[in-house]
Structure 1
Amino acid sequence: MKEVKPPKKSYLYYYGIILLVIILLNAFVFPTISGRYVKDVDYSTFLDMVENNQVAEVEIENNYINFVPKDANDKKMYRTGVIEDPDLVDRLHDANVKFTKIVPRELSPLMTFLISWILPLLIFILIGRYLSKKLGDRLGAGGASPMTFGKSNAKIYVEAQTGITFADVAGQDEAKEALQEIVDFLHNPSKYKDIGAKIPKGALLVGPPGTGKTLLAKAVAGESKVPFFSISGSEFVEMFVGMGAARVRDLFKQATEKAPCIVFIDEIDTIGKSRNAGGYGGNDEREQTLNQLLTEMDGFDPDKGVVILAATNRPETLDKALLRPGRFDRRVPVELPDLRGREAILRVHAKKVKMAGDVDLNAIARATPGASGADLANIINEAALRAVKFGRNIVAQEDLEESVEVVIAGYQRKNAVLSTKDKLRIAYHEVGHALVAAKQTHTAPVHKITIIPRTSGALGYTMQVEQDEQVLMSKEQALDKITTFMGGRAAEEIIFSSITSGASNDIEQATKIARAMVTRFGMSEKFDMMALETVNNPYLGGDTTLLVSSETAAKIDEEVLSIIKSCHEKAIQILEDNKDKLHEITKYLFEKETITGEEFMDILTGKTTA
């Protein structure tokens, strides 16, 4: 059983305890001397007690007179202030009071100097170091003093720590081939120098998130067996102006000392943005850091074996000076893997997991078009977690297929309660998609239909899986895709003569395809091959910007609407012509909740009956 540790108490809790202890000490311990409580009295009371022979002993200090009464039952010690009284000694002598004067011990000149000058200075230095450490922690300097703020935070991985080679990177054969030359140069620089060739100073890895850019950089270092410096672009940018430039200088200084080596700058777009696009002034910290990076890349000799690798998913924002020959000479695309690449990636990650002998990774690869390497690794891990959840020690095909659906649509909402009416409507909606897809020529086969709600918000979905990798999309395929998206709403209109919000995502996807056909694919007779829209950030969402006037934009909307209406009418016609099958398949899906593509096609072709 895992031990549950109690939460740590805040510093205010301990400060409160210390304050309470001090108060108790002041109240009960410090006011006592030799077990007696100290009572302050005025000087006249002291004289009266002396004359009445009530004082047993007196101690005279510089500022106070402490005296003890003769009464054994009186446990208090009395104290009064010192007043100029020349007759005090005579009074005490006449009253037979034992008295003494306490003279403070004088310190030597050396001790006085140490206490007065050296001790305060030491205390000041210790406080300064403490505050400096706290400031360094707040600013991300790792507890360093302000004198070390210019030091680079680059992590150094040696061969024994990385242990990553090109064998660990799958699905990126072209990228590995482009980087193999760098590895070969670091191993055999002489054959390049003999012919007069120079290795590229830097290589820029460009691609969507999760495609393995950082993994490729580590693999280059692992294959080369040289030190590997890794730093993120954001670590150069701090609150102090000039610190980023200082860290760039320090990074290249360290790299030169440890050459041959590889320096990897992740997310270089943080400091490498175009100086005309950022809108910041000439003294901006980011611009100073970029200028220093450009200077350092010009200044070092590539023959020493220092290779700069950088990664970004926003190459369009980088400064042109950073991309010119002599700096980042080579641009290496790290794109989303194709069908063969996805299968290879799945096999790499499957080696770390116990798999059943009949697992078909090719089927999983075909079901995940557009998935990155990180997505595929997550699918394998989710399958392993599901196998453990159901008490198995190996991963089966059903675990992998369910993990694909988890990544695409989320987990099943088994506790979601749907009314019979809503459940029936969702069943007709999904069968409408599947039936329209099956009755068209340029669509992918139906793989699965389900009406079990998912955590992503989907109340059901129809999964289609291409038999082969699709690189291009024809106009006919685009129109058939839109028509398939319209199938769900069309089924609701035919059966229930009403519409719901369930087709919102279908409408969004269909509109995107129709708009792309008109503005970017040149699939509209009205606009022919005119470029009407450009894509921004293709690796991060693909936002678009119109390149036309408002009048042309209105005509674009009319053309997009015409395409959607035409596909909507086609979907309705397909379902009207196959209304009996729509009812039959929906009844079967309503009872089973989930059916395979084979079951769907058997009912549709008449091989079996629902």
Structure 2
Amino acid sequence: MEPNTGVTFEDVAGVDEAKQDLQEIVEFLKTPEKFSAVGAKIPKGVLLVGPPGTGKTLLARAIAGEAGVPFFSLSGSEFIEMFGGVGASRVRDLFSKAKQNSPCLIFIDEIDAVGRQRGTGIGGGNDEREQTLNQLLTEMDGFTGNTGVIVIAATNRPEILDSALLRPGRFDRQVTVGLPDERGREEILKVHSNNKKLDKDVSLSVIAMRTPGFSGADLANLMNEAAILAGRRGKDKITMKEVDDSIDRIVAGMEGTKMTDGKSKILVAYHEIGHAVCATLTPGHDPVQKVTLVPRGQARGLTWFIPGEDPSLISKKQLFARIVGGLGGRAAEEVIFGETEITTGAAGELQQITQIARKMVTVFGMSEIGAWALTDPAVQSSDVVLRMLARNSMSDKLAEDIDNSNHIRNNRDAVDKLVDVLLEKETLSGDKLRAILSEFTDISSIKVERIPIRELIEA
């Protein structure tokens, strides 16, 4: 038991919606009589659902800290023992102590370890786990009125929890603690950079823009990696160079041995410039951030893009642009070196664009056969004609459009110039790439201006 966690909502960034949902829990723990006077019953249990590293445990500690109440914390796996009855006994002891210290907050992390659906046969028929869950259900159902004991649990697998655990009267509500958006990532970065020395060129908004899909734990790790890298390089401050290198390392892996000059290096250079040129010349594609010949992980070279504001909502134009950009590397190999010299380097990209194309037809309804979702098992098993139409539409239509978008052949001089610069510098920024490309072709009409949503709202 912690008498006071010392953590408040000020220490939790990037999850404003979850904090608003949990604010009334704090108010009840502070002033329960205000709710009791009008006959209101506060939820007995709150389930925090979200991916790992999004701050579920920190939120629970912040609730207790805001309300100034004792905080009981343990993991679901701590209940489970090989000896029968131990888990159930621990549940009884926990709730007994909690009632003696009410108002208080109980936090059970990874509740799926003990709250898994009963009768599934998973776990080798472990009766001890089911006894523990039964005792937990009994204790939560046995609360009388507003006792001031609130149970908060966290999981990233809510679909496997027992239905009895989620019914009203136990875990009354589910609060989603999702991955932060761009603004949330910027707030989280502010928290994790408070104790670090940053150079004046470090822009937290740019870092937030480059890190879609990062959780709070990922962003904390990013700033720590940047600090380690700065120390290793003998610097007294973290610069944008360390942050960029840390993002590359987290996303793509450790930096490998640089390639020596030769055919392989030239081929990789044309491959990556093919991606960058096709992406830049295709409306709707994310802008190029940089192109590099520095190997990372399994990749011999990489083309990085600055992602859009909301990666969860993607238009048909954007999806098609990703297909064209993804095929740019293979197209460059074929145009420059000939069809017999194409390599296996495009294997991963071909898998990705095939998946995009298939989903455009079978999931998103973005084909000439209309707004059909062909992923439903009943449709897939019964309507063979629709599946054949989808397959034909996907191959012929996309092939025709992609042939009409052969930016490599149409801009051969620009590609050669970009490859020469890339071979010399080994890393080419997006701004430099667009500047060189604009010398050979007009890109002003397809330049995508990135306007953050918050600026649109303020306007």
Residue identity matched to 1:266: D
Candidates 181, 195, 199, aligned match of 1:338: 181
Partner SS state of residue 549, structure 1: helix
Q: Provide the residue aligned with 1:599 in structure 2.
A: 432
Residue identity matched to 1:591: E
Q: Provide the residue aligned with 1:80 in structure 2.
A: none
Q: Provide the residue aligned with 2:403 in structure 1.
A: 569
Aligned runs of 1:308-347 on 2, under 5 Å?
A: 308-347=151-190
Q: Provide the residue aligned with 1:225 in structure 2.
A: 68
Ranges in structure 2 where 5+ consecutive residues have no aligned partner: 442-459
Task: State yes or no: 1:369 paired with 2:212.
Answer: yes
Quick one: higher RCO (CA 8 Å, sep 6+), 1 or 2? 2
Q: Deviations over 1:15-56 (max 9, x none)?
A: xxxxxxxxxxxxxxxxxxxxxxxxxxxxxxxxxxxxxxxxxx
User: How much has 1:476 moved relative to structure 2?
Assistant: 1.5
Provide closer, same or farther for how the CA distance between residues 235 and 522 of structure 1 changes in structure 2, counting only shifts above 3 A: farther
Partner SS state of residue 37, structure 2: helix
Q: Deviations over 1:70-97 (max 9, x none)?
A: xxxxxxxxxxxxxxxxxxxxxxxxxxxx
Q: Provide the residue aligned with 1:526 in structure 2.
A: 369
Residue identity matched to 1:449: V
Residue identity matched to 2:428: I
User: How much has 1:441 moved relative to structure 2?
Assistant: 0.8
Q: Provide the residue aligned with 1:500 in structure 2.
A: 343
Provide closer, same or farther for how the CA distance between residues 546 and 558 of structure 1 changes in structure 2, counting only shifts above 3 A: farther
User: How much has 1:530 moved relative to structure 2?
Assistant: 2.8
User: How much has 1:248 moved relative to structure 2?
Assistant: 1.7
Paired residues of 2:286 and 2:308 also in contact (CA < 8 A) = yes
Partner SS state of residue 72, structure 2: strand
Candidates 229, 237, 240, aligned match of 1:394: 237
Q: Provide the residue aligned with 1:460 in structure 2.
A: 301
Q: Provide the residue aligned with 1:46 in structure 2.
A: none
Provide closer, same or farther for how the CA distance between residues 392 and 277 of structure 1 changes in structure 2, counting only shifts above 3 A: same
Paired residues of 1:514 and 1:563 also in contact (CA < 8 A) = no
Provide closer, same or farther for how the CA distance between residues 547 and 379 of structure 1 changes in structure 2, counting only shifts above 3 A: farther
Aligned runs of 1:327-476 on 2, under 5 Å?
A: 327-413=170-256, 415-418=257-260, 420-454=262-296, 456-466=297-307, 468-476=309-317
Partner SS state of residue 380, structure 2: coil
Q: Provide the residue aligned with 1:85 in structure 2.
A: none
User: How much has 1:470 moved relative to structure 2?
Assistant: 4.2
Provide closer, same or farther for how the CA distance between residues 562 and 210 of structure 1 changes in structure 2, counting only shifts above 3 A: farther
Partner SS state of residue 74, structure 2: strand
Paired residues of 1:589 and 1:595 also in contact (CA < 8 A) = yes
User: How much has 1:378 moved relative to structure 2?
Assistant: 0.9
Q: Deviations over 1:371-399 (max 9, x none)?
A: 11111111111111111111112111222
Provide closer, same or farther for how the CA distance between residues 445 and 208 of structure 1 changes in structure 2, counting only shifts above 3 A: same
Candidates 359, 364, 369, aligned match of 1:516: 359
Partner SS state of residue 205, structure 1: strand
User: How much has 1:266 moved relative to structure 2?
Assistant: 0.9
Task: State yes or no: 1:586 paired with 2:419.
Answer: yes
Q: Provide the residue aligned with 2:450 in structure 1.
A: none
Provide closer, same or farther for how the CA distance between residues 452 and 247 of structure 1 changes in structure 2, counting only shifts above 3 A: same
Q: Provide the residue aligned with 2:44 in structure 1.
A: 201
Matched-pair identity in %? 51
Separation in 1 of the partners of 2:3 and 2:293? 52
Separation in 2 of the partners of 1:203 and 1:405? 37
Paired residues of 1:490 and 1:568 also in contact (CA < 8 A) = no
Partner SS state of residue 263, structure 1: strand
User: How much has 1:528 moved relative to structure 2?
Assistant: 2.6
Residue identity matched to 1:519: T
Separation in 2 of the partners of 1:319 and 1:227? 28
Provide closer, same or farther for how the CA distance between residues 277 and 385 of structure 1 changes in structure 2, counting only shifts above 3 A: same
Separation in 1 of the partners of 2:379 and 2:83? 41
Provide closer, same or farther for how the CA distance between residues 282 and 377 of structure 1 changes in structure 2, counting only shifts above 3 A: closer
Q: Provide the residue aligned with 1:178 in structure 2.
A: 21
Separation in 1 of the partners of 2:40 and 2:438? 65
User: How much has 1:324 moved relative to structure 2?
Assistant: 1.2
Provide closer, same or farther for how the CA distance between residues 393 and 431 of structure 1 changes in structure 2, counting only shifts above 3 A: same
Separation in 1 of the partners of 2:77 and 2:398? 45
Aligned length: 437
TM-score, structure 2 length as denominator? 0.89
Separation in 2 of the partners of 1:518 and 1:226? 54
Provide closer, same or farther for how the CA distance between residues 435 and 278 of structure 1 changes in structure 2, counting only shifts above 3 A: farther
User: How much has 1:242 moved relative to structure 2?
Assistant: 2.8
Separation in 1 of the partners of 2:300 and 2:279? 19
Separation in 1 of the partners of 2:404 and 2:169? 57
User: How much has 1:285 moved relative to structure 2?
Assistant: 2.4
Residue identity matched to 2:403: E
Q: Deviations over 1:336-374 (max 9, x none)?
A: 111100111101101021112332110111111111111
Partner SS state of residue 365, structure 1: helix
Provide closer, same or farther for how the CA distance between residues 411 and 606 of structure 1 changes in structure 2, counting only shifts above 3 A: same
User: How much has 1:280 moved relative to structure 2?
Assistant: 7.0
Paired residues of 2:367 and 2:394 also in contact (CA < 8 A) = no
Ranges in structure 1 where 5+ consecutive residues have no aligned partner: 1-155, 534-544
Task: State yes or no: 1:158 paired with 2:41.
Answer: no
Candidates 107, 114, 137, aligned match of 1:264: 107
In our comparison, the structure showing a higher alpha carbon Rg is 1
Root mean square deviation, CA, Å: 2.4
